[in-house]
Amino acid sequence: MKGVSDYAIVYDISSNSERRKVRKLLRGFGFPVQKSVFECRMNKRIKRELIRRLQQLNLGTGFVKIYRLEYSSRGEVIGVNRRKDIDAGPAFII
């Protein structure tokens, strides 16, 4: 899909209430791959919306980082991978 990229979003937040808010927000944009790591497929408009909503949380006990993943390189999975890959299921149309 043109204009769409995959992102890894990671966070390190010490406050339980802030961490819950971030996790709930991120569930609306992607899926968790670890406790503090999400994978999301977004276009520029959706990414801007996510950043705006994260900024509204006014985090005081940690941070959120968004990393763009390159299409040309697929991640290697070593060991047992019980989680589905973003490409393994049906397409998401936004």
Q: How far is CA 26 from CA 2, 45, 67, 84, in A?
A: 23, 15, 14, 17
pLDDT value at residue 31: 93
- Mean pLDDT, residues 73-83: 60
Q: Which one is predicted more confidently, 65 or 74?
A: 65
Asked whether residue 17 carries a pLDDT value surpassing 90, the answer given is yes
Tokens of 57: 């949380």
Mean pLDDT of the chain: 83
CA distance linking residue 15 with residue 67, whole number of Å: 23
| pLDDT tens sequence across 34-73 | 999 999 999 999 999 999 999 999 999 999 999 998 765 5
CA-derived radius of gyration, the chain: 14
Structural domains in the chain, CATH included, are 11-63 (3.30.70.240)
Residues found in the chain: 94
The proportion of the chain whose per-residue pLDDT surpasses 70, expressed as a percent, equals 73
